[in-house]
Amino acid sequence: MDNRKNTMGRREFLTSVEKTAGVAASSYLLASNVTAAGADRDSAAEPSRYRFKMGIYLPELGLAFDESLAKAKEIGAKYVWFNRVPNEPDIAQMSDVEADRMAKRISRHDLKIFLLNAGNPFKKIHLTDLNVKTMDAHPAFRKELGDLTRSMQIASRIGVKTVGAFTFAWPGEYTAGKPTWPMRWLTRGGVIADIDMQKLVKAFSLVAEQAERYDVDVALSMMPWNYTNTTGNFRGLAERVGSRRIKVMWGPADNMNSGEWDTATAGFQNVRPFLHGLHLKDLHVEDGLRLKFQYRPLGEGDVDYVTILRSLRAHRSEAVLSVSTHFLPPSGSREEAIRINYANLKNLIRRAEKET
C-alpha cells in the first residue's frame, strides 16, 4: 500500500471519528483538572543557564550492573533508570539491606536514580482479564500491585522520588496477534471503551493511594501495546484518576508508532503538566496500518525531536532525557548504540538551542 495514500486515508477517516467519538488529541488540550503544585516542574532558571537533564536506561547496555553504571557515567549521564539488577534478586524481592546496598553502588558512581521500576508492573496483563468489581482479587494484578508497592517502599527508603509502571495490554495483544491494532492505528491510538476506562481508573486510583502513603510519584510508561500508547490516552486517564501522584514517562516514538503524528506539538501540550521524563528512541513507520516500522538512531527517524527539545527548553522542564536505543549498529554493539544515541541527542540539543 502506498504510505501517502494510507496516511491521507487515515486522516480523512479520523475527521469523522473525531467528530463522533471525541478522540481527537486537541480535545485534551484544555486545562488539566490536576493542578497540584509543581505538576509541570518548571524551573526559574534564566534561558542562557538552562541545562537538560541527561540520563540512560541501563538495561540497554546489556552489561553487569556496576559495569553499566561506570559506562553510563563515562558516556556523560547523571541519571539512570532500570527495572532489575542482573544476577541479583528482583527489586520487589530485595530486603532493605539489599536495597541500601544497591543505592550505595549507584551513589559511588556519582549517579542518581530518577525512576525505579520493580520489573514491569501491569505491562503484560490484559485489561480484558480483569473485572472492575473483583480486580483486587485477580492473582496477577495482586502480585504486580504488590511489586509496585514494594518499589514505592524502597524508593521512599533510599530517597528516590518516582517509581514506574505500565498500563495494561490491549485485547489479545500478547495472545491473539494484536487484533485491535488496525482500529488503534486508524483512531490515533484506539478508542477506550467506558468499561475499560473504569478498570483503568480503579487500578490507578489504588496505585495512587499507595503512592500517597509512601510519598512518591508514579510515572506511567508509554508503549504501543498498552493503553497509554498516546499522549491523548494518557491524559484522558490521568485526568480521570485526578491524583497529583500520576506522572508520565513520555515516549514520543511510541506515540508516533501508534498513529499520533502530532506528538511533538499537541502531544507535548497533553503531557507537559505530568512530565517526569522522556524515553528517547527513534523509528520510521513504513506502513502503520500493518505495523511495519524500523528502529533508527535518534534524530534519523520520524520523531521531531528538535521541536520537542525547544518546547522543553522554553518551559524550563526538569524532565530527564533518558536515552534508549532499540536498534543495533553494524558492529552489533549495544554500547555503541547507546553512544550513538547519546551523541545524537547532544547534537539535537545544539540545534534546538540554536533555533530557539
- Classified as helix, coil or strand, 236 is helix
Q: Which CATH architecture has domain 46-355?
A: Alpha-Beta Barrel (3.20)
Which residue type does 210 have?
Answer: Q
Asked whether residue 354 carries a pLDDT value surpassing 70, the answer given is yes
Which residue type does 7 have?
Answer: T
pLDDT (tens digit per residue) in 23-33: 333 333 433 44
Please report the DSSP string for 179-202 in residue order.
TTHHHHHHTTS-PPPHHHHHHHHH
Query: What pLDDT shows up at residue 49?
Result: 83
pLDDT (tens digit per residue) in 163-177: 999 999 999 999 999
Interatomic CA distance for residues 68 and 65, integer angstroms: 5
Evaluate the CA torsion angle 331, 334, 337, 338 in order and state its sign: negative
Query: What pLDDT shows up at residue 355?
Result: 76
pLDDT (tens digit per residue) in 212-256: 999 999 999 999 999 999 999 999 999 999 999 999 999 999 999
Asked whether residue 12 carries a pLDDT value surpassing 90, the answer given is no
| Cβ–Cβ under 8 Å, residues 189 and 129 | no
Distances (CA, A) of 356 to 40, 295, 308: 20, 28, 12
pLDDT (tens digit per residue) in 65-75: 999 999 999 99
Please identify which residue in the block is written with the cell numbers 530518577: 114
pLDDT cut 70: percent of the chain above it: 86
| Cβ–Cβ under 8 Å, residues 334 and 325 | yes
- Classified as helix, coil or strand, 242 is coil
Query: What pLDDT shows up at residue 4?
Result: 41
Asked whether residue 1 carries a pLDDT value surpassing 80, the answer given is no
Query: What is the rounded average pLDDT of the residues 250-268?
Result: 98
Evaluate the CA torsion angle 151, 210, 318, 278 in order and state its sign: positive
Asked whether residue 19 carries a pLDDT value surpassing 60, the answer given is no
